Structure 1
Amino acid sequence: MKALQGIEGSVEWVERPAPSCDVGQIRIRVAAAGLNRADLLQRAGLYPPPPGASDVLGLECAGVISEVGAGSHWQVGDRVCALLAGGGMAEEVVVDGRHALPAPEGLSLVEAAVLPEVYATAWLNLFKLGALKSGEKALIHAGASGVGSAGIQLCKAFGNPCWVSVGSAERLAYCESLGAQGGVLRTQDLEGLRDFAPFDVILDPIGARYAALDLDLLARDGRWVIIGLMGGREAQLDLAKLLGKRVQLIGSTLRNRDDAFKGELIDELRRHVWPLFAEGRLEPRLEHSFAAKDVDTAFETLASNNVSGKVALVIDDNLV
């Protein structure tokens, strides 16, 4: 099968043996895969896959099941999307059946391909680890990103006012169209977030550059969930503030979680989040899709930091 590898800062389609389908697993003929910042980091050699995971790029995909291992409830021919530790940017992928979800009715497989990673990340960090309760306030940095777009929609659906930091006025308007109450431009007035504070949960993919401000913005008993280090890894903090406010500082990754944890997380999405797509309360935010031959353009588009929502790579035109 053809599969996409990140090699010395570039990407290349290579021939790889098709993986076997074992007990509890399913084989998916991939229609499309979502691109994520983790793919950019892996391409650059900065984010290797967890031990035992495929080194093929792609943390989410959608397609049609072509084989079902013993013990799985799925059927050949089911349209699904899946959360992966790697391997989604290939003609086929084999995944634990517990990590797949039905492609929501009314959505194309390209749209479904950009759902699993961002909605799993947003749900895990805002509602599972962040423990947002109805009415509590959230701050989402990089609000126009794929995870931010999912997080804003989830906050609106579950009764949580949220604010954002973004890079441009256009992206702020985009976030407000999804349900954000407001926000600031990081290049002009990040301190303006103080006008909307305190926040009960902060979802932060930036890290060090925002750390001191985040601590000031949190409410007493606030939860500060760090999911990325785009703004650096070392910060100086006044720990007396953290103690005095009883802040919970949570570092969170998803890719290296074990299969059982991911299975439970996907089951929560199936029960609590997926019905909202049928109700029209959630939607994919797919800004660009690219043919497999245009993979370099797809990666550079995501790397530009000018995308509001998601980018997808179409692997099999016959399935979409």
Structure 2
Amino acid sequence: MRAITIKEPGGPEVLTLAEVPDPLPGEGEVLVEVAATAVNRADVLQRQGFYNPPPGASPYPGLECSGRIAALGAGVSGWAVGDEVCALLSGGGYAEKVAVPAGQLLPVPKGVGLVDAAALPEVTATVWSNVFQAVHLRPGETLLLHGGSSGIGTMGIQLGKAIGARVAVTAGSAEKLEACRALGADVLINYREQDFVEALGPDGADVILDVMGAKYLDRNLDALAVNGRLVIIGMQGGVQAELNIAKLMAKRAAIVSTSLRARPLDEKAAIVAEVREHVWPLIDNGRVRPIIDTVLPLADAAEAHRLMESSTHIGKILLRA
């Protein structure tokens, strides 16, 4: 099969399409013939040498995919060869085939094309596991999404509105904010021109989903409501910052930080099961949909990474296998 390999850490040019051995499904796994995968910030970090795959994972980038089941490993039930699926991966999506633990498979939702379904597993699992499982966003609360026009942001807007939350977003252009407004965002904040703490007002946000990390830590605390919850899932703004514990205590607030890729298989399976139970019906009935900016051939992975790093996209960038 063909897969995107990383010759050495570096820029997008190190991504190379090469012939590699086909993967074989182990016990409890299925082999998926990939229709498409999606580009995530974690793939960029892996390419740069900062985010190696967990032990036993495929060395190729790609944390999600869609496709058809080509073979079943021992002990797999509930799936059949030919089923159209999408899947959460620990790696290997940038390839023509990938072996996937059966617990990380999802059926392609109604009304979503097979290629477009590649845009769903990572963002739905990330938003659900953080905003709903970890900090329990409730109807009527305010959710602040940094990077509201990203793949995670566009899914967060839709899921937040679906449960009756008030959703605020930050983004860097009028075009991106308009896309967020069209998805239902209530408060639109241009971070290049506005301070998000001031824009939220004195009541603040009950839940903040943050991809910036260190750069935003103190201001995120300022923006939290009393009993607020800050969830940090990215480090685009650095990894070290000073924490004002007095401010945290005064807000009676909580800070949670999670990652998804290296979680044990049973934890990932539990997240995927809840996504299928709670999120898939919203997609099936059209209340939630994947937001896709660009679809490129797998051979153009380098161009896809350049687009990701330019931050000019809205929603997901896909690679068609």
Contact kept, 8 Å, 1:286 with 1:312, in 2: the verdict is yes
Aligned to 1:188, the other structure's residue is in SS state coil
Quick one: distance in 2 between partners of 1:95 and 1:293? 22
Aligned partner of 2:30 among 15, 26, 39: 26
Contact kept, 8 Å, 2:94 with 2:298, in 1: the verdict is no
Quick one: distance in 2 between partners of 1:243 and 1:277? 39
Quick one: distance in 2 between partners of 1:175 and 1:306? 14
User: Would you say 1:70 and 2:74 are equivalent positions?
Assistant: yes
Question: Mind listing any 5+ residue stretches in structure 2 that lack a counterpart?
Answer: none
User: Would you say 1:120 and 2:125 are equivalent positions?
Assistant: yes
Quick one: distance in 1 between partners of 2:63 and 2:243? 33
* Correspondence for 2:193: 188
Question: Where does 1:217-232 land on structure 2 (aligned, <5 Å)?
Answer: 217-232=223-238
Quick one: distance in 1 between partners of 2:108 and 2:199? 37
Structure 1 position 302, deviation (Å) = 1.3
Quick one: distance in 2 between partners of 1:160 and 1:25? 37
Structure 1 position 115, deviation (Å) = 0.5
User: Would you say 1:299 and 2:305 are equivalent positions?
Assistant: yes
User: Would you say 1:132 and 2:137 are equivalent positions?
Assistant: yes
Quick one: distance in 2 between partners of 1:91 and 1:296? 17
Question: Where does 1:244-263 land on structure 2 (aligned, <5 Å)?
Answer: 244-263=250-269
Q: Deviations over 1:238-264 (max 9, x none)?
A: 210111222111111001111000000
Aligned partner of 2:86 among 81, 84, 87: 81
Question: Mind listing any 5+ residue stretches in structure 1 that lack a counterpart?
Answer: 316-320
Quick one: distance in 2 between partners of 1:48 and 1:41? 8
Contact kept, 8 Å, 1:206 with 1:231, in 2: the verdict is yes
Quick one: distance in 1 between partners of 2:82 and 2:59? 27
Quick one: distance in 1 between partners of 2:314 and 2:199? 21
Structure 1 position 145, deviation (Å) = 0.5
Change (3 A) 1:241 1:132: same
User: Would you say 1:4 and 2:8 are equivalent positions?
Assistant: no
Q: Which amino acid aligns with 1:298?
A: A
Structure 1 position 164, deviation (Å) = 0.7
* Correspondence for 1:318: none
Aligned partner of 2:59 among 46, 55, 62: 55
Change (3 A) 1:50 1:193: farther
Contact kept, 8 Å, 1:5 with 1:43, in 2: the verdict is no
Which ranges of 4 or more aligned residues in structure 1 deviate by more than 4 Å?
Answer: none
User: Would you say 1:150 and 2:155 are equivalent positions?
Assistant: yes
Question: Where does 1:195-210 land on structure 2 (aligned, <5 Å)?
Answer: 195=201, 197-210=203-216
Quick one: distance in 1 between partners of 2:222 and 2:228? 11
Structure 1 position 66, deviation (Å) = 0.6
Structure 1 position 2, deviation (Å) = 1.1
Q: What is the aligned-residue RMSD (CA, Å)? A: 1.2
Aligned partner of 1:214 among 213, 220, 224: 220
Q: Which amino acid aligns with 1:93?
A: V
Contact kept, 8 Å, 1:208 with 1:231, in 2: the verdict is yes
Structure 1 position 70, deviation (Å) = 2.7
Contact kept, 8 Å, 1:6 with 1:44, in 2: the verdict is no
* Correspondence for 2:107: 102
Q: Which amino acid aligns with 2:232?
A: I
Aligned to 1:30, the other structure's residue is in SS state strand
Structure 1 position 196, deviation (Å) = 6.8
* Correspondence for 1:269: 275
Quick one: distance in 1 between partners of 2:202 and 2:110? 37
Quick one: distance in 1 between partners of 2:200 and 2:67? 44
Contact kept, 8 Å, 1:227 with 1:253, in 2: the verdict is yes
Aligned partner of 2:44 among 35, 40, 47: 40
TM-score normalised to structure 2 length? 0.95
- Report which stretch shifted further, 104-113 or 24-33: 104-113
Contact kept, 8 Å, 1:287 with 1:309, in 2: the verdict is yes
Quick one: distance in 1 between partners of 2:203 and 2:216? 15
Aligned residues: 315
Q: Which amino acid aligns with 1:130?
A: V
Quick one: distance in 2 between partners of 1:105 and 1:224? 33
